[in-house]
Structure 1
Amino acid sequence: TEAVSLKTETGRIPSLPEKIFVEYSNGGTEELPVEWETIPEGLLHTPGKYIIEGKLHQTLFEKPLIYHRADPHIYKHTDGKYYFTASYTDMDHNLDGKYQYLYIILRRADTLAGLADGSGTYEEKIVYERKPINNGTMSPHIWAPEIHYIHGSWYIYYTTTISDESPWRIRPHCLECRDQDPLTGKWEEKGPLVSSVEGDIAFTDFSLDHTYFNHRGKDYILWAQKTNNISDIFIAQLSNPWTLCTPAIRLTHPEYNWELHGFPVDEGPGVIKHDGRIFITFSASGTDAMYCVGLLYADEDADLLSSSSWTKLPYPVFQSSKETGQYGLGHNSFTKSDDDSQDLIIYHGRQEERYLVEEDYQPLYDAGRNASVGKIYWDKNGMPDFSVPAMGIVCSEDRLKVKAEIIVE
Structure 2
Amino acid sequence: MKNYQLLCYERDPWNDEGYDAKLSHSMHLGISQNGAAFKELNHNYGVLFPKGIEKDDGSIDAKTLIQPCIFQINDTTFGIFAIQTGSKAENDLTSKGELLCFTTEDFVHYQQLSSIKVGNDVILEVRVDGQMAQKVFWREVSGKCYAASFWFNADTQAFEISGNEQSEVATIPNQPKVAAENIDGCIPRGEISISDAIGDYLLNKLDEPYNTANELPKEVTVGSQQELEEVKAVAKYSDGTETNKRVDWYSRNIDFTKPQSLTIKGRIHQDHFIFPMALDRADPCIGRWQDKYYFIATNDADRNHSLYIREADSVPELVTAQEVKILDSNMYDTIGNLLWAPEFHIIDGQLFVFHSATIDRFEDVQSYVMALKPNGNPMLASDWCEPKRVVKPNGDPLIKQGITLDMTEFQIDEHIYVTWSQRQFVPNDLGAWLYIAEVDAAHPWQMISEPVVIAKPIYGWENNRAPVNEGPFAIQRNGKVYLTYSGALIDDSYVVGLMQIDRELSPLDPENWQKSNYPILTSNTVAGEFGPGHNAYVIDDDGHYWNSYHAHPGKEGPRSSGIRRVHFDVDGEPDLGMTEDLDLKPQLVNVALQVKIDPKKD
- Per the normalisation by structure 2, the TM-score is 0.54
CA distance in 1, matches of 2:423, 2:365: 11
Q: What code does the residue aligned with 1:275 have?
A: N
Q: Give yes or no for the alignment of 1:181 onto 2:377.
A: yes
CA distance in 1, matches of 2:292, 2:317: 10
Mapped contact 2:297–2:307 kept (Cα < 8 A): yes
CA 278–400 in structure 1, closer or farther in 2 if over 3 Å, else same: same
CA distance in 2, matches of 1:203, 1:154: 29
Match of 2:559 among 365, 369, 386: 369
Q: Give yes or no for the alignment of 1:168 onto 2:355.
A: no
Q: Give yes or no for the alignment of 1:382 onto 2:594.
A: no
- The Cα shift of 1:25 comes to 2.0
CA distance in 1, matches of 2:218, 2:384: 59
Mapped contact 1:73–1:84 kept (Cα < 8 A): yes
Q: Give yes or no for the alignment of 1:301 onto 2:504.
A: yes
Q: Give yes or no for the alignment of 1:217 onto 2:439.
A: no
CA distance in 2, matches of 1:377, 1:323: 14
Residue 230 of structure 1 is matched in structure 2 by: 431
Mapped contact 2:525–2:577 kept (Cα < 8 A): no
CA 67–395 in structure 1, closer or farther in 2 if over 3 Å, else same: farther
Where does the alignment leave 5 or more consecutive residues of structure 2 unmatched?
A: 1-212, 221-227, 252-262, 596-602
Q: What code does the residue aligned with 1:213 have?
A: F
- The Cα shift of 1:123 comes to 4.4
Residue pairs, 1:16-95, within 5 angstroms: 18-34=231-247, 55-77=267-289, 79-90=290-301
Where does the alignment leave 5 or more consecutive residues of structure 1 unmatched?
A: 9-14, 39-50, 91-98, 133-138, 355-365
Listed one character per residue, the Cα deviations across residues 94-124 of structure 1 (whole Å, up to 9, x for unaligned) are xxxxx400001122112111211xx3xx343
CA distance in 2, matches of 1:394, 1:4: 17
- Per the normalisation by structure 1, the TM-score is 0.78
Match of 1:352 among 547, 551, 554: 554
CA 53–232 in structure 1, closer or farther in 2 if over 3 Å, else same: same
SS of 2:486 mapped into structure 1:
strand
- The Cα shift of 1:279 comes to 0.7
CA 385–27 in structure 1, closer or farther in 2 if over 3 Å, else same: farther
In terms of Rg, which structure is larger? Answer: 2
- The Cα shift of 1:176 comes to 2.3
Q: What code does the residue aligned with 1:85 have?
A: I
More contact order relative to length (CA 8 Å, sep ≥ 6): 1
- The Cα shift of 1:292 comes to 0.6
Match of 1:125 among 324, 333, 336: 324
Residue 158 of structure 2 is matched in structure 1 by: none
Listed one character per residue, the Cα deviations across residues 184-224 of structure 1 (whole Å, up to 9, x for unaligned) are 34322243210015889656522111011222121111100
Match of 1:105 among 308, 311, 319: 308
CA distance in 2, matches of 1:332, 1:159: 16
CA distance in 1, matches of 2:421, 2:379: 28
Question: How large is the Cα RMSD of the aligned pairs?
Answer: 3.1
SS of 1:61 mapped into structure 2:
coil
Residue 96 of structure 1 is matched in structure 2 by: none
Identity of aligned residues (%): 26
CA 5–82 in structure 1, closer or farther in 2 if over 3 Å, else same: closer
- The Cα shift of 1:257 comes to 1.2
Mapped contact 2:248–2:266 kept (Cα < 8 A): yes
Q: Which moved more, 1:21-30 or 1:218-227?
A: 21-30
Q: What code does the residue aligned with 2:298 have?
A: S
Listed one character per residue, the Cα deviations across residues 148-189 of structure 1 (whole Å, up to 9, x for unaligned) are 232343322211224x3x232111112222133122343222
CA distance in 2, matches of 1:107, 1:316: 30
CA 111–198 in structure 1, closer or farther in 2 if over 3 Å, else same: closer
- The Cα shift of 1:55 comes to 3.4
CA 256–250 in structure 1, closer or farther in 2 if over 3 Å, else same: same
- The Cα shift of 1:23 comes to 1.9
- The Cα shift of 1:53 comes to 7.0
Match of 2:587 among 394, 398, 402: 398
CA distance in 1, matches of 2:354, 2:215: 48
Q: Which moved more, 1:59-68 or 1:341-350?
A: 59-68
Residue 538 of structure 2 is matched in structure 1 by: 335
- The Cα shift of 1:281 comes to 0.5
CA distance in 1, matches of 2:535, 2:401: 25
CA distance in 2, matches of 1:309, 1:5: 43
